[in-house]
Amino acid sequence: MPRWCRRFRRQPLAITGLVLVLPIAFAALFAAQIAPGNPLATAGPALRPPTTAHWLGTDDLGRDIFAGLLHGARVSLFVGLTVTLISTALGVLVGGIAGFFGGWIDDGLMRLTEMVQILPRFFLAIIIATFFGGSLLNIVLLLGLTFWPSTARLLRAQLLSLREREYVVAARSIGSTAPKILTNHLLPNALPTVIVNSSLQVGGAILIEAGLSFLGLGDRSYVSWGYMLNNAQPFIQIAWWMSVFPGLALLLTVVSVNLMADGINEVANPFLVEDGRR
pLDDT in tens, 57-89: 999 999 999 999 999 999 999 999 999 999 999
Would residue 81 count as lying in a domain? yes
Would residue 103 count as lying in a domain? yes
Would residue 239 count as lying in a domain? yes
pLDDT in tens, 184-220: 878 888 877 888 888 889 999 999 999 999 988 888 8
Give the Cα separation of 147 and 126 in Å (integer).
16
Would residue 202 count as lying in a domain? yes
pLDDT in tens, 215-274: 888 888 899 999 999 999 999 999 999 999 999 999 999 999 988 887 777 776 644 434
Cβ density class 125-160: b for 16+ within 10 Å, e for less:
bbebbeeeebebebbbebbbebbbbbbbbbbbebbe
- Contact predicate 57/239, CB 8 Å: yes
3-17, 126-140, 150-164, 239-253: range with lowest mean pLDDT? 3-17
Q: What is the CATH number of the domain that holds 204?
A: 1.10.3720.10
pLDDT band (50, 70, 90) for residue 164: confident
List Cα–Cα distances, 144 to 56, 219, 250, in angstroms.
33, 17, 20
Give the Cα separation of 109 and 155 in Å (integer).
13
Would residue 54 count as lying in a domain? no
| Total number of residues shown for the chain | 278
Structurally, the chain folds into a number of domains equal to 1
pLDDT in tens, 139-158: 999 999 999 999 999 999 88
Degrees, nearest 5: CA angle 207-21-158: 70
Against a cut of 0.95, is the pTM above it?
A: no
Cβ-based neighbour number of residue 44 at 10 Å: 13
- Give residue 185's pLDDT: 79
Would residue 53 count as lying in a domain? no
pLDDT at 178 over 90: no
Would residue 87 count as lying in a domain? yes
- Give residue 205's pLDDT: 93
Give the Cα separation of 196 and 155 in Å (integer).
11
- Contact predicate 60/238, CB 8 Å: no
| Structural domain containing residue 155 | 3-43+76-268
Please enumerate in sequence order all residues whose Cβ is within 8 A of that of 12, keeping only pairs 6 or more positions apart, or say none.
Answer: none
Would residue 64 count as lying in a domain? no
Q: Whole-number mean pLDDT of the chain?
A: 87
pLDDT at 20 over 80: yes
pLDDT at 1 over 60: no
